[in-house]
Structure 1
Amino acid sequence: MANVSSDKPNIRQVASIAGVSHMTVSRVLNDHPNIKPDTRRRVLEAIEELDYRPNLVARALATQRSRRLGVIVESPVAFGPNSILRAVEFAARAADYSVTPIALNEGDQLSPQDAVESLITQGVDALCVIAPRSSSVAALRRISISVPILVVKADADPTFLTVSIDQHAGTTLVVDHLVALGHRDILHISGPLDWLDARARERAFHSRAKSWGIRERPIVVGDWTADFAYDFAMGLSRLPDYTAVFVANDDMAIGFIHGLHDKGFEVPRDLSVVGFDDVPLARHFLPPLTTVRQDFTSLGSAVVEMLRAAIEEREIPTLTRIPTEFVPRASSARPREMR
């Protein structure tokens, strides 16, 4: 290998060490598909040897791209949306992209159109929308958007790219687990049904429960907060007829268990409770919470890869749903009448 200059390395030094043209180095840096594996390897080794850092401003001028993704995230303090945003930021950084997020909170004056216009003005190459409400998606359809846009939602969409955690499969795992334990009367506490993830879990619950012949019981529509579920549990005048509760997220599940405890009921002796998310404290709660783990890291990588493919006019990856993992713990057990 050639001696490394003490000056700040440049693309032509990388090309000289790798034995290629500077245009080939540029193609490797931009993930051009028509590069031989051996050539790519030599270029990457030269980059590592020189500790070369591309001039992002020069690259943006050459490609007319900013290598920046705009992200619109609803309720960013909630566990799911915040986890997805962090995963997208991490995956984007690994791909040499930056992320500019804008938060939409309920009651804010900022509209989806305001958010889109702000990000487009900042020169983003593509847009991602995290944890959308159905009203937000409807608003996006009415906006003319000049860059690729991806919406993190469970159902395919003719207007946008989509990718999501497989909400249907995760919910199916919950119902199957409770049925296997012997439960035939299960209550569902959902999230707000304007939220697409909440709607997807609610529909999947009813579909799977019906296939098992479980009693049809009206759902309780929550607001994602532990306080809501705590108050609902405190409103119970007696032990209910249902023997298990599927709660649409872990925060509400933990609040519900807390309320049951304060009412003198015990989980899982009196009621089994299952959540969704696997928040970090779920395994340390008493009892440790049975739940569904979402692979946010894989979701973030899929978001960035799909948007990069769209930006670079490559074939879009076909994977649109990320598998979930069921995590059984001590908050679910056989129904009380079977003990």
Structure 2
Amino acid sequence: MDGVTEDMDTSSPVRRRDAAGNQGQRRVSMADVARQAGVSSQTVSRVSNGHPGVVEATRQQVLTAMKELGYRPNSAARALKSGRFRTLGIILFTLSTTGNVRTLEAIATSAAAEGYATTLLPVAVPTQDEVRGAFTRLGELAVDAIIVIMEVHLLDATTVSLPPNVGVVVADSDAGDRYSVVDTDQRGGATEAVRHLLDLGHTTVWHVAGPEESYAAQRRTAAWRSELERAGCDVPPPLRGDWSAESGYQAGLRLAREAGCTAVFAANDQMALGVLRALHDNGLTVPGQVSVVGFDDIPDAGSFIPPLTTVHQDFAEVGRRCVESALRQIGAAQEERGTTLVPTRLVVRASTAPPPAG
């Protein structure tokens, strides 16, 4: 090798020494790991790529050699060879809501379990141009599939440009037949919440709705209205909130002035928390005078005063199903279509009871 000799220190990266005795470092190769572990380069490649067909003792031997030499697989070269980047892109409208944060966490955890990294691109302003820009940037960052957590009316299939063979999954929204959708059973959960209050004997249920542009809020409101109509109950005018506890508090102040209000279904737990405080501030007891139900089952819901009856969403399952759908589309001839519904369940706690007598 023209006066260049090669030394191997098993506790440090491979070093090169030239004819003048100058020493430098070079990137550890797969062949170096193979020599260190006493196996073939093909075996090192299979271990590096997580191939299941390797004897466990051999796998550990190779992993030990990788650690000793400081070997890091060349992901760029591997991507060029396989055509896969092992990265999922995520486009997210806001990190301010509990549902989005928990869905994002579940997606990242599920992707990591499958050996995939995630790249997050928040969309600061909900405009078509911003969404198009997010898709373009993800294409430039080299991802295998894209998961969208946002209001899908911002996704215009005629203007969004996707890289070839990049699948799209939409979480908790509506994409018609354009993309694969993984959605919580919003309608079923809201229906169960209203039915629970009616079964307790309340003659109707008031509703604190989410933002008008939200598909989740729209479905929960539609189910609330439909269940009241099915039961032959009066349908009070819904009060509109923005998912925040403060908006729930303002709605609760109005509900406290409604003499016939004995039951409230809030479209999320944060607004339900605001309703509880407003009722308390106006001297009304829960559930003695007014029953309250939320939606989400956030971790703190059981610590409200009183503990909140609410609809539990399985965010971990939503995230897992999103990743499953994305991975199925990688390398497939065409994108998936259709909607997968993740069931909800009502968690009954101390904030609901029969209406006051008389």
Residues 44 and 62 in structure 2, CA contact (< 8 A), matched pair in contact too: no
- Pairing 1:74-223 to 2, within 5 Å after superposition: 74-106=93-125, 111-130=130-149, 132-137=150-155, 139-146=156-163, 147-155=166-174, 157-223=176-242
Structure 2 partner of 1:260: 279
2:265 to 246, 259, 263: 246
Q: Which shows bigger deviation, 308-317 or 72-81?
A: 308-317
Give me the whole-angstrom Cα distance separating, in 1, the residues matched to 2:344 and 2:61: 40
Summarize the Cα distance change of 1:142–1:44 in structure 2 as closer, same or farther, 3 Å threshold. farther
Structure 1 partner of 2:344: 324
Deviation, structure 1 residue 259: 0.8
Structure 2: segments with no counterpart, 5+ residues = 1-9, 12-27, 67-71
AA partner of residue 135 (structure 1) = H
Summarize the Cα distance change of 1:129–1:44 in structure 2 as closer, same or farther, 3 Å threshold. farther
Larger-gyration structure (1/2): 2
Residues 210 and 268 in structure 2, CA contact (< 8 A), matched pair in contact too: yes
Residues 182 and 335 in structure 1, CA contact (< 8 A), matched pair in contact too: yes
Give me the whole-angstrom Cα distance separating, in 2, the residues matched to 1:17 and 1:268: 71
Q: How many residues align?
A: 322
Give me the whole-angstrom Cα distance separating, in 1, the residues matched to 2:57 and 2:260: 66
Summarize the Cα distance change of 1:89–1:291 in structure 2 as closer, same or farther, 3 Å threshold. same
Structure 2 partner of 1:312: 331
Q: Report the RMSD for the aligned CA atoms in angstroms.
A: 3.3
Deviation, structure 1 residue 25: 3.6
Give me the whole-angstrom Cα distance separating, in 1, the residues matched to 2:296 and 2:282: 26
Summarize the Cα distance change of 1:54–1:167 in structure 2 as closer, same or farther, 3 Å threshold. farther
Give me the whole-angstrom Cα distance separating, in 1, the residues matched to 2:333 and 2:199: 45
Summarize the Cα distance change of 1:27–1:49 in structure 2 as closer, same or farther, 3 Å threshold. closer
Summarize the Cα distance change of 1:221–1:105 in structure 2 as closer, same or farther, 3 Å threshold. farther
Structure 1 partner of 2:23: none
Deviation by residue 1:23-81 (Cα, 9 ceiling, x = unmatched):
99489847xxxxxxxxx464567435643785433321211221111111112121001
Give me the whole-angstrom Cα distance separating, in 2, the residues matched to 1:328 and 1:44: 47
Residues 129 and 150 in structure 1, CA contact (< 8 A), matched pair in contact too: yes
Structure 1 partner of 2:59: 47
Give me the whole-angstrom Cα distance separating, in 1, the residues matched to 2:341 and 2:226: 19
Residues 211 and 243 in structure 2, CA contact (< 8 A), matched pair in contact too: yes
Residues 297 and 313 in structure 2, CA contact (< 8 A), matched pair in contact too: yes
Q: Which shows bigger deviation, 94-103 or 108-117?
A: 108-117
- Give the secondary structure class of the aligned counterpart of 1:205: helix
Deviation by residue 1:193-224 (Cα, 9 ceiling, x = unmatched):
21111112112222222222222222112111
Residues 204 and 234 in structure 2, CA contact (< 8 A), matched pair in contact too: yes
Summarize the Cα distance change of 1:100–1:110 in structure 2 as closer, same or farther, 3 Å threshold. farther
Give me the whole-angstrom Cα distance separating, in 2, the residues matched to 1:275 and 1:136: 27
Deviation, structure 1 residue 142: 2.8
AA partner of residue 248 (structure 1) = A
Deviation by residue 1:121-149 (Cα, 9 ceiling, x = unmatched):
1111111111x225313x35531323211
Summarize the Cα distance change of 1:141–1:244 in structure 2 as closer, same or farther, 3 Å threshold. farther
Summarize the Cα distance change of 1:156–1:120 in structure 2 as closer, same or farther, 3 Å threshold. closer
Deviation by residue 1:134-189 (Cα, 9 ceiling, x = unmatched):
5313x355313232111113546211111111112211221221122112210111
Deviation, structure 1 residue 110: 6.8
**Identity rate of aligned residues, in percent?**
34
